[in-house]
Amino acid sequence: MVDHLANTEINSQRIAAVENCFGASGQPLALPGRVLLGEGILTKECRKKPKPRIFFLFNDILVYGSIVINKRKYNSQHIIPLEDVTLETLPDTLQMKNRWMIKTSKKSFVVSAASLTERKEWISHLEECIRHLLTKTGRQPSTEHAAPWIPDKATDICMRCTQTKFSTLTRRHHCRKCGFVVCADCSRQRFLMPRLSPKPLRVCNLCYRQLLAEKKKEEADLRQTEPISAIQGYEPSSGDDSDKSDDDKADRWPADTEFYTSQVSWSSFHS
């Protein structure tokens, strides 16, 4: 179907229609060989509550955005290269059914379809496009994925210290490494994760210690592999050593709800 539609007038018109719906806020989508395979509305699990989003599947990218007027105006365009995508089917919850996770190195999130058949079709088409791209480029499937953010309403207390209760004045924050909902005291550190952002990002105290330890280990391994240069001279050692607020009221998350990638209760992750 891709070969049949590539560089045809009907395909160009479909892509132009998508670009027009996003308007000036969106990026150009037309490229030689790019084909629009399908579109549909999926429910995306966002930080505060699930929200409908429009999704467009191309043979090399997945595009989604917010719906202003369906079929006429969209905004907040996001473009995801399919080579970076892996999928994971998730169990149903009381709030959402037919769920699966779209995982990438920069962002991972959960979506749900209106029916089980629709979910199967989306996953089937996505996986086929991903297989075709990886075969074409010779790349291996991505193994590093950003952690999905656990929704605000999943907990009324900090998921690290388990002491701080969230309120209108006590804000929820998210660790960019593990995705946990944490308080300000448990997430004062910032760490540079180039895969996610060129700027240091908020991380919880536990993830900060882990990331710092990994960085020190990498630096030590690098020093061991560097060639030893000839000693030109030395100086005697001195002996000194040289180092947005939440407006929605949080609802209690059902106790039997499973989190995304583990069968272990989140409370078991505390350090």
User: What is the CATH classification number for the domain harbouring 76?
Assistant: 2.30.29.30
Q: Give residue 157's domain range.
A: 149-221
Q: Which residues pair with 99 in a beta bridge?
A: 112
Q: Which residues pair with 75 in a beta bridge?
A: 66
DSSP secondary structure letter of residue 206: H
Q: Is 258 a residue whose pLDDT tops 70?
A: no
Question: Domain check: are 131 and 9 in the same one?
Answer: yes
pLDDT (tens digit per residue) in 52-72: 999 999 999 999 999 999 999
Q: Please identify which residue in the block is written with the tokens 């499973």.
A: 258
Instruction: Give the integer Cα–Cα distance in Å for 184 and 118.
Output: 40
Q: Is 256 a residue whose pLDDT tops 80?
A: no
User: What is the CATH classification number for the domain harbouring 155?
Assistant: 3.30.40.10
Q: Which pTM was predicted?
A: 0.76
pLDDT > 70 fraction of the chain, expressed in percent and rounded: 82
Q: Of the candidates 194, 221, 248, which is a domain's last residue? A: 221
Grade residue 259 by pLDDT with cuts at 50, 70 and 90: low
pLDDT (tens digit per residue) in 113-152: 999 999 999 999 999 999 999 998 888 888 889 999 999 9
